[in-house]
């Protein structure tokens, strides 16, 4: 189901790196023809290799980004609110470089790619801003890949849990936002490794409860553990 843009949606875009710093008048012009989609769980947004007709901004929910190699799927990222999907392909090859699947009921802003590129012509200031934002996101992904190689499974899981917490210290409660098996894939580990990692984190006061609930007794202690220089 689609709906028209409104003021609240435009305000949300200020949290998206691609549009942050772009004045509202320019955003409205660039997004002419865009629409908000309300999509159900498991909806396939696009597949790797398909031509880019639209790119997206996640307004709410979670979207899995994955690659296939040798018949096996690898989860690259689980996109959350304010993440832009398909922008690199739109400016590059013109074909989606990953597949995207909706994990939880989600709202996405769908932006027609060809019209968007046409409106950018002659606006070098906006183009440079957007290319800088894309470069920053690429560096973040590279850093995440490096962490997968350098951190233990418990540290990876702890770091993931910390992304779901706003507090810097004290006690915190949270829920896994989607299936633990998918969390394991995202973190580059097997489900049984995730279970063992939860066991190690339990010694740090991280308690895994039914219904995907997790209680962290001391957020600062978990942060310190995840920052430690460990191998294994």
Using one digit for the tens of pLDDT, what is the confidence trace for 163-193?
A: 888 888 899 999 998 888 888 888 888 889 9
Q: Which of 110, 131, 149 is the last residue of a domain?
A: 149
User: Does residue 117 share a domain with residue 91?
Assistant: yes
Residues with Cβ within 8 Å of 159's Cβ and at least 6 positions away in sequence, in order, are 147, 151, 226
**What pLDDT is attached to residue 230?**
52
The reply to whether 186 falls in a domain is: yes
User: Does residue 138 share a domain with residue 158?
Assistant: no
Residues of the chain with pLDDT under 70: 1-5, 144-149, 230-232
State how far Cα 4 lies from the chain centre.
24
User: Does residue 119 share a domain with residue 75?
Assistant: yes
User: Does residue 120 share a domain with residue 88?
Assistant: yes
Q: How many domains does the chain have?
A: 2
**Percent helix, strand and coil across the chain, each rounded to 5?**
40, 25, 35
User: Does residue 60 share a domain with residue 20?
Assistant: yes
The reply to whether 232 falls in a domain is: no
The backbone region for 108, taken as left when phi is positive above 0, alpha when psi lies in -120 to 50, beta otherwise, is: beta
Q: Are 197 and 154 in contact (CB under 8 A)?
A: yes
User: Does residue 118 share a domain with residue 58?
Assistant: yes
Q: What is the pTM of this model?
A: 0.72
State the CATH number of the domain containing residue 38: 2.60.120.10
**What pLDDT is attached to residue 109?**
94
**What pLDDT is attached to residue 199?**
93
State the CATH number of the domain containing residue 163: 1.10.10.10
Q: What is the domain extent for residue 63?
A: 2-149
User: Does residue 109 share a domain with residue 14?
Assistant: yes
The reply to whether 111 falls in a domain is: yes
Q: Which of 149, 168, 196 is the last residue of a domain?
A: 149
User: Does residue 143 share a domain with residue 32?
Assistant: yes
Render pLDDT for 69-99 as a digit per residue (tens, 0 to 9): 777 888 888 898 888 898 888 877 889 999 9
Q: Which of 149, 165, 180 is the last residue of a domain?
A: 149
User: Does residue 90 share a domain with residue 114?
Assistant: yes
């Amino acid at each position: 189901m689609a709906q028209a843009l409104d003021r609240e949606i435009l305000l949300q875009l200020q949290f998206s790196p691609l549009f942050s710093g772009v004045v509202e008048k320019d955003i409205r012009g660039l997004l002419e023809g865009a629409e908000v989609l309300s999509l159900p769980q498991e909806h396939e947004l696009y597949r790797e290799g398909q031509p880019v007709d639209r790119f997206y901004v996640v307004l709410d929910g979670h979207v899995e980004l994955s690659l296939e190699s040798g018949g096996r799927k690898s989860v690259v990222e689980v996109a959350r609110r304010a993440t832009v999907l398909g922008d690199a392909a739109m400016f590059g090859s013109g074909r989606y470089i990953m597949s995207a699947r909706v994990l939880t009921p989600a709202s996405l802003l769908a932006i027609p790619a060809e019209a968007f590129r046409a409106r950018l012509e002659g606006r070098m200031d906006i183009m440079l801003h957007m290319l800088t934002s894309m470069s920053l996101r690429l560096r973040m992904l590279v850093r995440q890949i490096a962490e997968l190689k350098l951190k233990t499974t418990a540290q990876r899981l702890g770091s993931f849990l910390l992304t779901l917490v706003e507090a810097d210290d004290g006690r915190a409660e949270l829920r896994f936002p989607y299936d633990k098996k998918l969390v394991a894939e995202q973190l580059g580990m097997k489900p049984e490794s995730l279970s063992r990692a939860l066991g190690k984190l339990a010694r740090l006061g991280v308690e895994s409860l039914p219904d995907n609930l997790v209680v962290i007794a001391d957020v600062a202690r978990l942060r310190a553990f995840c920052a430690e220089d460990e191998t294994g």
